């Protein structure tokens, strides 16, 4: 049947439009651009590994996350990416920090790099030095890590 050509063109168009408008990248894809990755992944917190940061640092990080840093506005108090402004960020929803698969895929330095430089083309804007100092950003990384606790 020659009519079958029309549906195939129509579906091609649908795929084309969908691929153009659906520019969301999978959360597991790195957010630090390739040229900066080597340098970013080598960055470490002044207190060492963020997953084993001293409790006092984690508490300071929580206060900054919920207060001055305003992270909770988008990432939510829960860390699930369900803050009051989260819905404004389609097709790039705020990261769900309770997703341990994503957390494990990231080095501390990558998280720090995105807090400092942002994730271009998304609502994640650069926050250091405008809003936070580097020291404060590292404390928040410790708190962000605490959303994905390794089973005891
Ligand atoms: C205005 C909304 C908004 C605010 C405020 C915000 N973020 Fe984000 N954040 C986002 C969005 C949207 C993404 C997802 C970006 C993407 O998909 O590339 C994101 C992604 C991230 C990531 C993920 C990086 C990765 O490697 O996947 C980290 C870490 C992060 N934010 C930390 C923070 C911290 C810490 C704060 C507060 C100091 C903060 N964000 C404040 C919207 C926000």
Kindly state if the Cβ of 145 falls inside 6 Å of ligand 1. Answer: no
Enclosing H/E stretch for 111: helix 108-117
Check if 95 has its Cβ closer than 6 Å to any atom of ligand 1.
yes
Arithmetic mean of pLDDT over the chain: 88
pTM across the whole model: 0.87
Domain layout of the chain by residue ranges: 29-146
Mean pLDDT of 90-116: 96
Q: What is the CA(122)–ligand 1 centre distance, in A? A: 9
Query: Under a CB-based contact definition with an 8 Å cutoff, are residues 33 and 95 in contact?
Result: no
Query: What CA–CA distances, in Å, run from 122 to 37, 58, 141?
Result: 19, 27, 19
User: pLDDT tens, 12-62?
Assistant: 555 544 444 446 789 999 999 999 999 999 999 999 999 999 999 999 999
Q: Is 137 in the pocket of ligand 1 (CB under 6 A)?
A: no
3.40.50.2000, 1.10.10.10, 1.10.760.10, 3.30.1490.100: which CATH number matches 29-146? Answer: 1.10.760.10
Q: Which residue has the higher pLDDT, 12 or 107?
A: 107
Phi, psi (deg, nearest 5) at residue 8: -70, -35
């Amino acid at each position: 049947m020659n009519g079958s050509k029309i549906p195939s063109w129509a579906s091609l168009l649908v795929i084309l439009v969908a691929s153009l408008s659906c520019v969301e990248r999978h959360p597991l894809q790195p957010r630090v651009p390739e040229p900066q990755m080597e340098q970013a992944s080598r960055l470490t917190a002044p207190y060492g590994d963020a997953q084993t940061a001293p409790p006092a640092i984690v508490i300071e990080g929580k206060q900054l996350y919920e207060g001055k840093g305003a992270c909770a506005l988008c990432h939510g108090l829960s860390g699930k990416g369900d803050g009051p402004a989260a819905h404004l960020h389609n097709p790039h929803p705020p990261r769900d920090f309770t997703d341990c698969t994503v957390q494990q895929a990231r080095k501390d330095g990558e998280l720090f790099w995105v807090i400092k430089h942002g994730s271009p083309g998304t609502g994640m804007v650069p926050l250091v030095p405008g809003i936070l100092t580097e020291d404060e950003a590292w404390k928040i990384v410790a708190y962000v890590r605490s959303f994905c606790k390794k089973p005891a």
